[in-house]
Amino acid sequence: MIVHTGKRATLGRFFAALTGGLLMLAAGLGTAHASPGAEPFAQQARAAHLSTAQTTELKSEVDRYLKLTGGQQVALNKIVMPGRGEVLVALPGEAHPRSLGSGVAAAVDHCLGADAPLYDGWFCAYYSADFQGTEVQWYTCGTYDMNFTTHGGSWSNNQTRGRQARMYGKSGNLIYTTPGAYSSDANANWWSIWKIKPC
């Protein structure tokens, strides 16, 4: 009778341990499955060999542009403004945005370089001179807020041949009209520009 009770107690402990182990395993699987949703672009940061500090700084900058543009983040450093264009955010201290996504989410400059056929329909504004830094690219005609507040900057007009872009001040006054596409300015000044009509 004492032995029987011991067996029952031993079996009880075994099943309790087994149940606890299964619960821990299930919890672990649940956590592993939920992790990518919590950090949807963490894999891109790891693949780009970004430090924790770089990732945090980039995320902060992307969040700022998300609030300014009302766009949707589709890669670690890319925001799409549906029906309008996109923003490619450069890491602080780096000359150009990296290609951190894949496929449609990859960072592509529609105005310069091999990725940009001439007269491709885009107007691009760069935060820094010489077509460097964070880039805002517009494709659709409209009047858009200019999100750069810097004394430097640059732009590239790669719209359809001959099309011009217009830049407006705080009170809506026309400040500058670009030459027809293709045209560019490696040393612009965004300080007084509040809105752009890239068409």
Is residue 191 within 8 Å of 153, Cβ to Cβ? no
Domain count, the chain: 2
Phi, psi (deg, nearest 5) at residue 185: -145, 115
Residues 58 and 128 occupy one common structural domain? yes
149 within some domain: yes
Share of the chain above pLDDT 90, in %: 50
Residue 22 in tokens: 């299964």
Per the structure, the complete domain to which residue 65 belongs is given by 49-197
Question: Across-strand partners of 122?
Answer: 158
102 CB neighbour count, 10 Å cutoff: 10
pLDDT for the residue 35: 33
Residues 6 and 68 occupy one common structural domain? no
Residues 62 and 125 occupy one common structural domain? yes
Is residue 169 within 8 Å of 131, Cβ to Cβ? no
126 within some domain: yes
Residues 99 and 145 occupy one common structural domain? yes
Is residue 89 within 8 Å of 48, Cβ to Cβ? no
pTM of the model: 0.74
Residues 17 and 85 occupy one common structural domain? no
Residues 66 and 99 occupy one common structural domain? yes
| Residues 69, 87: Cα–Cα separation, whole Å | 9
Residues 20 and 104 occupy one common structural domain? no
21 within some domain: yes
- Residue 64: C-alpha distances to residues 54, 58, 113 (Å): 15, 10, 27
Per-residue pLDDT reduced to its tens digit, 41-74: 888 888 888 899 999 999 999 999 999 888 999 9
CA angle 176, 84, 58 (to 5 degrees): 90
pLDDT for the residue 4: 40
Residues 84 and 158 occupy one common structural domain? yes
79 within some domain: yes
43 within some domain: no
